[in-house]
Amino acid sequence: MAASGDDISSASLINIVTEKSDALEIDDSNVIELPTANDSQFFAAQKSTPAETYEVGDLLVSYLDYIGVDYVFGIPGGAIEPLYNALSRSAEKGGPRAIVARHETGAAFMADGYARNSGNLGVCCATAGPGATNLITGVASAYDNHSPLLVITAQTALENFGRNAAQESGDTGINTVAMFEPCTHYNTLVSHVNQFEQKLASAIMTAFRSPMGPAHLSIPLDVLRAVSPVKYPTNDLANLLWNPSPIDIDSLEIFSKQLTTAKKIVFIIGEGCLHGIGSILNLAMSVHAKIVTTPHAKGLVSPYHPLFRGVLGFAGHDSATEVFDDEVDTIVAIGTTLSETASNTWDQKVLNQRLIHIDSSEHNLMHSPMARLHVRGDIAKIFEKVENNLDIQKIATSNNRHANKSNVDINKKPELKRFFKVIDESKCHDNSSPIKPQSLMTALPKIFPPETKYLCDSGNSMAWSIHYLHPYDRRLAGSRDDDHGGLFWTCLEFGSMGWAIGSSIGTSLANNKHPVVCLTGDGSMLMYGGDVT
């Protein structure tokens, strides 16, 4: 499945899919660079739109253009038609354009992949009734993945509410707004044109607030095609979206002191470490902490890092659980929910009073009441501060844990040696027919370049890839050129079949620098394989 430019075409071989497409350039600091009130070029372009065609749908698309969104994923329908008309007008001017999926759930999966790998907002849309209900599985998956999505669904015209109109979806019909309530962080019906801009800004802001996730606007047909009361965005989202997470300084200082006195340390790296992975790995090397990752985070650390001991949890490695021996006095869990699949089924060797839990989300910290210390704040900034302030010399002389430490040059290309074992390793090099999964997973990183992104679907392929697929990362520490997405993604907890198919399309559209490989099964292909067309 290859995507390039305006066309998406497909080619598949044994359910392995590669993709490339146009990139969305996002600043590495994960701060969305938006136009300001003084950006005359942007606003002049908006004002040039003829007044008679500038509808609420056009204002919506202008906001997406304003924050750097390039694509809206969905399926057209009668009630959502004004939005597609606006997207058509936008595409003619080089602005955001529509990507038509084959199923609404697939559209939400695409938006999820786009959000994860662009650092920006993923946007999906559907018409009223069954179009909206078809979106729900994909939106629920994004909610579980903490992916910032704007979900737009349509309603019949307001004047037809309560009259048993076709695909009526308000509170007098099947009530799609109520259906989206449990899987969104913001959820509302826009019942008047004058509400729209404020509710849209609130939805976008909420999608980016910690914990990030979907925000839903349900817009009636007559509101969506109404003439907009304003001709360009008036909310200052440039400042409103930038929501730096406060850091608990007192807890951070305690954390630094405990690192100084700890005898044996293990770092558990979760998917929330994406933007701070360089500082985290540098610190791990300074204090000689063993490193394990959760399944979601396995693409953030080179499998050949000298301190890496494998994946902890679902389909993980024995060596990852063995590091939590009785000699370990400090376990640092970073950017993880410590869910069933990430904690080796709530292993008591992990979840105990040796634990220090660091996260930007209070929701995640609630899952570790047994921890002796919680540190809340922006993970990248926390580890930058600790790395800069830690007295490494004091650590080295306060105990003997570095006595046998070999010197590791983080700028030197590491040798291809793994410090963890896989099950039945001989099968990884078995070239007999039929092809063995272990052999296939071992071969993929040799076929594709090191920066390839792998997305794995629910099913047996997920277990095989978590355990045996080990992409080679050239660096021991430091951020990648494109650090908005890791090298490995899966939808483990919610487990939506077909997620990887749509998400790989969104990943590809967000980034044209590196190939994308989708690992999926026959069941998922039967469900959502149409999206590869």
The 10s digit of each residue's pLDDT in 88-141 is 999 999 999 999 999 999 999 999 999 999 989 999 999 999 999 999 999 999
H-helix or E-strand spanning residue 405: none
The string of pLDDT tens digits covering residues 432-465 is: 999 999 999 999 999 999 889 999 999 999 999 9
pLDDT value at position 353?
Answer: 97
CA distance 306 to 134: 46
Domain residue spans of the chain: 34-240, 249-398, 425-469+496-532
Instruction: Give the DSSP letter string of 252-274.
Output: HHHHHHHHHH-SSEEEEE-GGGG
pLDDT band for position 492 (50/70/90)? confident
Q: Answer whether 249-398 and 425-469+496-532 agree in fold.
A: yes
Instruction: Give the DSSP letter string of 129-175.
Output: THHHHHHHHHHHHHHHHT--EEEEEEE--GGGTTTT-TT--STTTT-
pLDDT value at position 10?
Answer: 35
pLDDT band for position 231 (50/70/90)? confident
Q: In what order do the strands lie in the sheet with 373-376?
A: 308-311, 290-293, 265-269, 330-334, 355-359, 373-376
Average pLDDT over residues 293-301: 93
Closest Cα to residue 70, out of 95, 92, 45? Answer: 95
pLDDT value at position 181?
Answer: 96
H-helix or E-strand spanning residue 185: none
Average pLDDT over residues 472-492: 64
Computed on alpha carbons and rounded to an integer, the radius of gyration of the chain in Å comes to 24
Q: Which CATH number fits domain 34-240: 3.40.50.970, 3.40.50.1170, 3.40.50.1000, 3.40.50.11540?
A: 3.40.50.970
pLDDT value at position 393?
Answer: 56
Spell out where 233-352 has E strands: 265-269, 290-293, 308-311, 330-334
pLDDT value at position 392?
Answer: 62
Closest Cα to residue 232, out of 36, 24, 25, 98? Answer: 36
pLDDT value at position 478?
Answer: 45
Residue 161 and residue 118 in contact, taking contact as beta carbons nearer than 8 Å: no
Count Cβ atoms within 10 A of the Cβ of residue 237 and give its class: 0-12 exposed, 13-18 middle, 19 or more buried: buried
Average pLDDT over residues 305-322: 96
Of 415 and 490, the one with more pLDDT? 490
Residue 53 and residue 257 in contact, taking contact as beta carbons nearer than 8 Å: no
pLDDT value at position 390?
Answer: 80
- The yes-or-no verdict on residue 175 having pLDDT over 90 is yes
Which CATH code fits 425-469+496-532?
3.40.50.970
Residues constituting the chain: 533
Of 342 and 485, the one with more pLDDT? 342
pLDDT value at position 37?
Answer: 40
- The yes-or-no verdict on residue 490 having pLDDT over 70 is yes
CATH class for the region spanning 249-398: alpha beta
Give 39's contacts (C-beta < 8 A, 6+ positions apart): none
The string of pLDDT tens digits covering residues 204-214 is: 999 999 889 99
Average pLDDT over residues 367-389: 94
pLDDT band for position 473 (50/70/90)? low
pLDDT value at position 162?
Answer: 77
SS3 88: helix
